[in-house]
Amino acid sequence: MKEIYFYNTLTRKKEAFLPGQSGKVGMYVCGITPYDYTHLGHARCYVVFDVIRRFLEEKNLKVKYVQNFTDIDDKIIERANSQKKPFYEVSQFFIKEYKKDIKRLGVKDPDVSPLVSEHIPEIIDAVKKLIEKGFAYEKNGSVYFRVLKFKGYGKLSGKKIEELKPGARVEVDEGKEHFLDFALWKKSKENEPFWKSPWGCGRPGWHIECSVMSMKYIGSTLDIHGGGEDLIFPHHENEIAQSEALTGVSFCRFWLHNGFVTINKEKMSKSLKNFFTLKEIFEKFSPRAVRFFLLSTHYRDPLDFSPDALKEAERMTERISRIFEIKQVSQTQDAIKKQAQDLLEGFYDALSDDLNTSVAISRFLKLVKLFNSTKSEFVFEKILNADRVLNFLTLEGKKKVLLMSEEEILKKINERDRARKEKNYELADKIREELSQKGILLEDTPQGTKWRIK
């Protein structure tokens, strides 16, 4: 059994992962801003971190998994105002949709799913402390973080302050001491929801909620902080600055970031209008295939979406699921047991190597193959063991629509069986073809003729 290694964005190296205190792992993954439906890019992130969590749990580590909802933000307000609704109706609606979609992908519920809107007092406290410590200042009802005061700014993203030039891409906000300073607290404009604070009516800035909520539920130092790689800068960089300014200790030991889902090699994003929501995807592909697809490539590499790739995932997962159709035998030769055990070990070793799911899946498929040729209960159990991490087998498969009644099908099968006994193969094949036209596939097995939907 190998040690667990993860690639740490902070050090740009694979590092041995050892939990902080006695087998406990505190992990925080940045959640969504619920102002629209969840898309495939989000799904990749949460499926990947779900596998990391399940894997660590299988390794007998006690994981506390925290994932927030940023339920108050400019985009939510924008949407709420355009629909003439309070912001929380918009965020609550999309939180519900997110939970529905992500559950179908077999992602376990977080242990804690904190909402920003329910942590305003804690956020105000944190901002107050940052001001006291000289890391933040109030200006016209807003509070900004004083980036230059925090040495080490840029250590996560590898950016140098001198190289980040104000201008074209960075909005120059009057009132800030330095263009990189970011809002901890934003003064509310008219028609915007607000909370009362020592600095007047306003709401939290974007980054502070993650610092406050992660440390509230996990502690000053997280073991793992995860998210999409687009969050590295500025979001996670800012989280580090705020948190470490606040506590004086290291905020997080392992920073893990997943790569993007792309379409034609380009990032799936709203602005390019090339994104697919899970809702849309599920109309064409099963959640089981989607999960398989999302794990088929290493999590840090780009994953290119295409209908063909999803179709292949559909085929593969159907094949995997067919193991349930086989009657198991209890006897297993030692050599086979050894093979199965080695494959399972290889499976976990692959995951230990910075979550190499491609290799892990290949071992998993080998186990399926071994089971198909041995029908061994022992091997079957190894498959179920591996599936506790991958979680393909319990998910919804492809939707099957029955175009004719079961009685009708059985009648046709009987008719065909009679024809086959009489060696009237022409008729038998005609019946099989007829059923095939209606999407029914026949399989002649030693146990008789079976049928299934194509």
Partner RNA sequence: GGCGCGGUAGCCAAGUGGUAAGGCGGCGGUCUGCAAAACCGCUAUUCGGAGGUUCGAAUCCUCUCCGCGCCUCCA
Contacts (Cβ under 8 Å, ≥6 apart) of 448: none
Nearest partner of 288 among 94, 107, 57, 96, judged by Cα: 107
Asked if 279 touches RNA (CB under 7 A), the answer is no
The 3-state DSSP class for residue 405 equals coil
Asked if 277 touches RNA (CB under 7 A), the answer is no
Q: What CA–CA distance (Å, rounded) separates 104 from 22?
A: 33
Coarse DSSP helix, strand, coil percentages of the chain, rounded to the nearest 5 percent: 45, 20, 35
CA quadruple 127, 132, 133, 138: dihedral sign: positive
**Residue 410 · residue 422 · CB < 8 Å:** no
Q: What CA–CA distance (Å, rounded) separates 427 from 420?
A: 8
Asked if 12 touches RNA (CB under 7 A), the answer is yes
Question: Of the two residues 316 and 344, which places its CB atom closer to RNA in the complex?
Answer: 316
Which member of 107, 124, 231, 386 binds RNA (CB under 7 A)?
A: 231
Angle (deg, nearest 10), helices 377-390 and 357-374: 160
Asked if 303 touches RNA (CB under 7 A), the answer is yes
Asked if 147 touches RNA (CB under 7 A), the answer is no
Q: What CA–CA distance (Å, rounded) separates 177 from 181?
A: 7
**Residue 282 · residue 314 · CB < 8 Å:** no
Q: Write down the least CB distance from residue 5 to RNA, Å.
A: 10
Which residues in 323-382 contact RNA (CB under 7 A)?
353, 356, 358-359, 362, 365-366, 368-369, 372-373
Q: Write down the least CB distance from residue 416 to RNA, Å.
A: 7
Contacts (Cβ under 8 Å, ≥6 apart) of 380: 323, 328, 371
Binding span for RNA by CB under 7 A among 115-123, 186-194, 298-306, 402-410:
298-306
Q: What CA–CA distance (Å, rounded) separates 363 from 259?
A: 23
Asked if 445 touches RNA (CB under 7 A), the answer is yes
Q: Write down the least CB distance from residue 230 to RNA, Å.
A: 4
Site of tokens 């020592």:
198
Which member of 30, 115, 241, 290 binds RNA (CB under 7 A)?
A: 30
CB atoms within 10 A of CB 297: 17
Binding span for RNA by CB under 7 A among 124-132, 184-192, 240-248, 291-299:
291-299
Question: Of the two residues 132 and 174, which places its CB atom closer to RNA in the complex?
Answer: 174
Nearest partner of 108 among 162, 165, 167, 66, judged by Cα: 66
Binding span for RNA by CB under 7 A among 313-321, 336-344, 376-384, 396-404:
313-321
Asked if 316 touches RNA (CB under 7 A), the answer is yes
Site of tokens 């069986």:
417
Binding span for RNA by CB under 7 A among 27-35, 102-110, 386-394, 405-413:
27-35
Question: Of the two residues 58 and 173, which places its CB atom closer to RNA in the complex?
Answer: 173
Q: Write down the least CB distance from residue 293 to RNA, Å.
A: 8
Asked if 158 touches RNA (CB under 7 A), the answer is yes
Which residues in 247-266 contact RNA (CB under 7 A)?
258-262, 265-266
Which member of 8, 10, 26, 33 binds RNA (CB under 7 A)?
A: 33
Which residues in 372-401 contact RNA (CB under 7 A)?
372-373
Contacts (Cβ under 8 Å, ≥6 apart) of 430: none
Which member of 8, 44, 288, 348 binds RNA (CB under 7 A)?
A: 44
**Residue 119 · residue 216 · CB < 8 Å:** yes
* Four-CA torsion 301, 307, 312, 315, nearest 10 degrees: 140
Question: Of the two residues 44 and 176, which places its CB atom closer to RNA in the complex?
Answer: 44
Structure tokens at 284: 């064409």
Q: Write down the least CB distance from residue 42 to RNA, Å.
A: 4
Asked if 302 touches RNA (CB under 7 A), the answer is yes
Question: Of the two residues 3 and 23, which places its CB atom closer to RNA in the complex?
Answer: 3
Q: Write down the least CB distance from residue 22 to RNA, Å.
A: 29
Which residues in 399-428 contact RNA (CB under 7 A)?
420, 425, 428
Report which residue type is found at 113: S
Q: Write down the least CB distance from residue 215 to RNA, Å.
A: 19
Which member of 14, 189, 196, 279 binds RNA (CB under 7 A)?
A: 14
Which residues in 82-141 contact RNA (CB under 7 A)?
none
Site of tokens 């690639």:
7
